[in-house]
Amino acid sequence: MRYGKRNQQECWFLFFVFKLVWLPENHIYSDKKHIQNKENKEDNMRLGITEYGDAGVDFRWENKLKEIDGVILITKNLNDTFIKKVLSHMNEVPIVVHCTCTGWGHTRMEPNVPDYKQQLSQMKKLIESGFPASRMVLRIDPIFPTEKGVKRVSEMLNYYHSLGLPENEIRYRISIVDEYPHVRERYQKLGFTPMYGGSFYPSDEQRNLVGNALSEYPYQFDTCAEDVLAYKFPATFRIKGCISTEDLQIMGIKYDGTFPENPQGRNGCHCLACKTELLTPRKKCPHNCLYCFWKD
């Protein structure tokens, strides 16, 4: 009888411990597991981009839209076929379009690229067809940091301003041209003198030329891997990856927490690690730009 009574007391004691200790611990573990699942979901987030080719002439990005949470389509050729495809998919997956326009279309630098007037007129057409201006980026990539180069950019921007587009909704992005060794060889074969004297990057003087020229305009330009411009001209440039949390917000993609940057390990890159390339031809596209980073 005494043994049975002591056993009953021990049972109540163990039940008490179970309620006060094990259940709260298990609840905490459950919460941690839930948080971990959310983190895993963010880790699995994929935002597509078309940096290795041109989305306006290579439409293979269409086949991958179901695999991604959003997409940034970059093109120097906003042709009618591309516009139709964007409009047909914009309600299936969040899309941001980078309208690349350098001012060098239909020249030896960009022989098969539409001239800037045609490209910007097509940009206007896409917006007037119902594509949100807030998801449009005017991308000046690349800029040649010479007097002639910034003059072409100025002519293009002046024409852009004349179109009456919602400039306060559209975003802006720039990049200065890189001179790979094989690009310098192309220049020399056509009689052009490399701009950087054998270097990969522009000089401070050349960067200042670009900074001073673009400071004349009321736009703020995003830059990725061009941090020096943002430090020296903070009112005109800001450091922002080609894929950033701002893109997530504009696309309406919910996220919680932060993402690491620079998945490619590129010097100065600020793109989020959720970036995934949708075009992987690893060769020059039909535009055949003289400065293309892909080798011939």
DSSP states along 30-84? HHHHHHHHHHHHHHT--EEE--SS-TTT-GGGGGGGGG-SEEEEEES---HHHHH
pLDDT attached to residue 268: 80
pLDDT at 251: 97
The whole-angstrom separation of Cα 289 and Cα 111 is: 7
The confidence score (pLDDT) of residue 266 equals 74
Give the per-residue pLDDT at 290. 97
Q: Look at the alpha carbons of 282, 283, 287, 290 in this order and tell me if their dihedral is positive or negative.
A: positive
Whole-number pLDDT of residue 256? 75
pTM of the model: 0.84
Model pLDDT, residue 32: 35
Quote the strand ranges of 80-197, DSSP E: 95-100, 136-143, 171-176
**Distances from the Cα of 13 to the Cα of 9, 18, 20, 75, 105, angstroms:** 6, 9, 11, 71, 82
pLDDT for res 15: 44
Cβ atoms < 10 Å from Cβ of 229: 22
- Decide: helix, strand or coil at residue 216: coil
The residues of the chain scoring below 50 in pLDDT are: 1-6, 8, 11-41
Are the C-beta atoms of residues 214 and 230 closer than 8 Å to each other? no
The pLDDT score that the predictor gives to residue 13 is: 44
